[in-house]
Amino acid sequence: MLTYYTRFLDGVQRVIKVLEIILLAAITLIMVYQCMMRYIFQNAQPWCEELALYLSIYSIFLGIPIAVRRDSHLQVDFLLAFMSKKIRYLISAISSVAAIVFMLVFCYYGLSLIQHATSASTTLPLKMRDIYYSFPVGAVLVILFSVEVAVKNFLNFLGKSPADSKREGV
């Protein structure tokens, strides 16, 4: 079961990476355009900065799940270095469960924010709720990836590698 879930998340991660490439390329092009318009033609476009900001927000919330899966967030792991590998697996699994709980609350409040968002973007024909959709989308993706991390770390803590779980149907 874990194998199929991991394959599913591999596909989701590929889609996210493609979206990240598109978003970062768009942000770069928009900012180059803005610099050219501002400094060469002395005609700054107000929508450029706002759109780049909104694309950056989506980029961040799409990038967080990949960092969760790779365990590449900034963290203070000084004390973990003194603990056994088994205890590190347990602490990582517990941290993933705590992240899931936090993201469930974050998703709930993100959805609440979307329902109450009535304002519009200053320079673009967007409602702010369109930007706020990034909150629950990012939270759901973090939850999906954290479940995998938690299960793998719990299995490692119990002495079963995720490869062994394929044979037992876990």
Domains in the chain: boundaries: 2-168
Instruction: Report the distance separating Cα 74 and Cα 126, nearest Å.
Output: 33
pLDDT of residue 170: 39
Task: Identify the bridge partners of residue 120 per DSSP, sorted by sequence position.
Answer: 127
- Give the Cα-Cα-Cα angle 93, 96, 100 (nearest 5 degrees): 140
pLDDT of residue 168: 42
**What size, in residues, is the chain?**
170
pLDDT of residue 169: 40
pLDDT of residue 167: 40
Instruction: Report the distance separating Cα 70 and Cα 87, nearest Å.
Output: 19
Instruction: Report the distance separating Cα 125 and Cα 121, nearest Å.
Output: 7
pLDDT digit string (tens) for the chain, length 170 residues? 889 999 999 999 999 999 999 999 999 999 999 999 999 999 989 999 999 999 999 999 999 999 999 988 777 777 888 889 999 999 999 999 999 999 999 999 999 999 998 899 999 999 999 999 999 999 999 999 999 999 999 999 998 877 654 444 43
pTM comes to 0.87
